[in-house]
Amino acid sequence: MTDRSLYRLMAWLSPSYPVGAFSYSHGLEWAIEAHDLRRPQAIADWIEDILRFGAGRSDAILFAHAHRAIGREDEDALFEAIELARAFQSSRERALESLAQGEAFLRATRAAWPIPALDRLTTDLGEIAYPVAVGVAAAGHGIALMPALQAYLQSFAANLVSAAVRLIPLGQTAGLRLVAALEPVIEEVREDAEAAPLTMLGGCALRADLASMNHETQETRLFRT
């Protein structure tokens, strides 16, 4: 990977990139309010399950297919990934989280790093989910799938840890230990997603999906999801 590729990945997936990632908890806020999650190990198990069996894995598969579709200039494969990414949302708030971040990422990246690949994601295609948007940008800039997907999954997990740090509250050191503990999980999920066909899309992180649905009617909340 070139220095420029690393620079772009670090910029795009930084917490400061203007996609509003800090405002989404992926249902964690409700789970913590319901006392499902109070201790670091419970948080670690919850996030690991999301990565292995929930949106983490599904988004990684969609990311990989969008990335390869750009590399092959396969419009049909790209359109399939776009449609599945929109359809594969388990709740209204999950759709908000993915689609709003995807649109924000596209606006920011088109403004700062414009490339023809991003121009393929026209308004005619509808809203673009976050993993598809980042996968297309990475492929269009010649960033290899492996480091791009690894960075995307790390950013996804780190944002969930950050939400837990603020909500429990969990100490910063405990949060960093969680990020470190998730490193091998992220690597395994990335390896699985790279090889998985779209027919392998699926999830069984039911409690996380229910948390997202329940958050829609939660009276007091800090996060959008």
What pLDDT, on a 0 to 100 scale, did the predictor assign at position 169? Answer: 87
Give the pLDDT score at 219: 87
- Sign of the CA dihedral with 88 first, then 72, 4, and 195 last: positive
> Residue 125's pLDDT is what?
83
The alpha helices in the chain, defined as continuous H runs, are 3-12, 28-33, 40-53, 55-72, 75-87, 92-112, 116-119, 130-140, 145-167, 172-181, 183-195, 206-215
The arrangement of secondary structure in 26-215, i.e. its CATH architecture, is Orthogonal Bundle (1.10)
Confidence (pLDDT) at 202:
87
Regions of the chain where pLDDT drops below 70 = none
Assigned token pair, 105: 């990422």
